[in-house]
Structure formats: C-alpha cells, structure tokens
C-alpha cells in the first residue's frame, strides 16, 4: 500500500531570534536591545495559506521580513524555497527575492507617476525578464486576473483603495513567484473590499501559490487554512499542529 505524498516544506524558521539594537539615552554610549523574536520554529508547506496573528509588537511583521529576506536573524536559520537566507549576501538576496517572493503591503506603495500597467510591469523591468512587449503582456494578464483589465492606463490617484491594492497584488505576482507575503494587506480597506481582496488571494493559493499574511483581524485570519498566533516574540498557537 502506497502512503500519501508528503508536501515539501517551502518556508522553515528554526530557533530564530531577532534583536534590534538602538542607541542608549547618552548619545549612543550604551546599546539597548529589543528582542522581537525569541526561539521561533515555523514550517510552512508549499501551497499552504497561513495567517499570522497577534497584538501589536508581538513579532508578526518581523517574521514576514525574515521570510522575505528583508531582515536577517540574530540567531537561528531561515530557509525559504531551498535557500538559506541567513547565509546570503544583500546582492544575492535581491536577486533571489525578485524571483521567489511577492509582497503586498498595507499602504500599497505604488509608484504615483506610473500607470497601473506600468506598476504591474515594474518587477519584470527591474529583473529584465523577457522583452518589453512580453513584460507588458504578462502585466496585462495579471491585471485582468485581479479584475482591472480595463484600468491599466489609470494612475494610482485615479483608482480607489481597493483597486490600488489589486494593482499591488498584480505587481506582487509579476514574476509569478511561488510565495506571496502580505503585511496587514487589508489595513486600509473597508470590510467589503478586504473580503474581496482575500478572494483574490484564495484564488492565487488555489492555483498553487503559498500565501502567508499578517493580520490583526480574526475574521480575515479565519479565511486561511492555518492560523499561527504570536505573542511576545514567541509562537503561542498554531492550528496547523496536531495536539
């Protein structure tokens, strides 16, 4: 009898600690450390949709930044899509990130002077993937996927908040990365728009993209198949773990 196939792990944090250093009150004479993460172990299988929840300052965003290679651990290892991020240089991380990670932020962070289509094409331009015509075709396809196929010529200020976040999703998926990360991606959206946006993320996840997002909204967290709870720099709950 053949056993069930095991889904490979695509994200793994092992014994991760993160301490941020800041200058002390006397002009930097002493260093004060803030421990954002303290011994975090987290494994995410390819194709999962995971919500990370917890109060402000609990370490949620730090976990996302470590997975994205935006930040590095003080101790422990971070392995994403087969690469040890804690052993890579900034240059290596930049190339790796462009092909592996898509990020959706709370404040959209679109380029205000670029159209929706140009914003959605930007990661492809920076990575110099394909000819210019091919890049535009890919961006148009992603804009159509998020329901903005007829809005590609609009500037961000001509779009609603929900539409801007849709453009941000299209941009995040430009290079068709295997992992999509969200840092409070619905923080600037009303409830209806937030539900709509998560429908898009569900669709991407259904097509095989691993989705990990931070949210303080328990209702939105409940849309994920797994919820990881963080408090005081530690994982205190994980619905993906069997008792």
- Residues 112-138: b if buried by 16+ CB within 10 A, e if exposed: eeebbbbbbbbbbeeeebeeeeebbeb
**Above pLDDT 70, what percent of the chain?**
92
Contact between 84 and 141 under an 8 Å Cβ cutoff? The reply is no
**pLDDT at residue number 194:** 81
**pLDDT at residue number 234:** 96
Low-confidence ranges of the chain (pLDDT < 70): 1-6, 23-32, 241-243
CA 144 to CA 197: how far, in whole Å?
Answer: 14
Domains and CATH numbers, the chain: 9-238 (3.40.50.300)
Contact between 149 and 140 under an 8 Å Cβ cutoff? The reply is yes
CA 233 to CA 59: how far, in whole Å?
Answer: 5
**pLDDT at residue number 27:** 52
Span 172-191, pLDDT tens digits: 988 889 999 998 887 777 88
DSSP three-state, residue 232: coil
Q: What is the pTM of this model?
A: 0.87
User: In this structure, is the dihedral angle defined by the CA atoms of residues 91, 92, 98 and 103, taken in order, positive or negative?
Assistant: negative
């Amino acid at each position: 009898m053949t056993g069930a196939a095991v889904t490979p792990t695509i994200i793994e944090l092992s014994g991760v600690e993160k301490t941020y250093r800041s200058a002390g009150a006397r002009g930097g004479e002493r260093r004060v450390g803030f421990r954002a993460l303290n011994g975090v172990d987290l494994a995410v299988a390819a194709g999962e949709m995971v919500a990370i929840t917890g109060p402000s300052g609990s370490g949620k965003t730090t976990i996302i930044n470590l997975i994205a290679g935006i930040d590095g651990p003080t101790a422990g290892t971070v392995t994403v899509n087969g690469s040890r991020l804690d052993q890579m240089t900034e240059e290596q991380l930049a190339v790796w990130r462009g092909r592996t990670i898509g990020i959706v932020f709370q404040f959209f962070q679109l380029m205000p002077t670029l159209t929706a289509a140009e914003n959605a094409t930007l990661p492809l331009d920076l990575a110099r993937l394909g000819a210019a015509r091919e890049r535009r075709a890919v961006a148009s396809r992603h804009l159509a996927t998020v329901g903005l196929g007829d809005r590609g010529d609009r500037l961000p200020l001509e779009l609603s908040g929900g539409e801007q976040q849709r453009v941000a999703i299209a941009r995040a998926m430009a290079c068709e990365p295997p992992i999509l990360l969200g840092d409070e991606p619905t923080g600037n959206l009303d409830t209806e728009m937030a539900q709509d946006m998560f429908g898009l993320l569900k669709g991407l996840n259904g097509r095989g993209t691993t989705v990990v997002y931070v949210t303080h909204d328990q209702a939105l967290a409940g849309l994920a198949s797994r919820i990881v709870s963080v408090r005081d720099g530690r994982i205190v709950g994980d619905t993906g773990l069997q008792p």
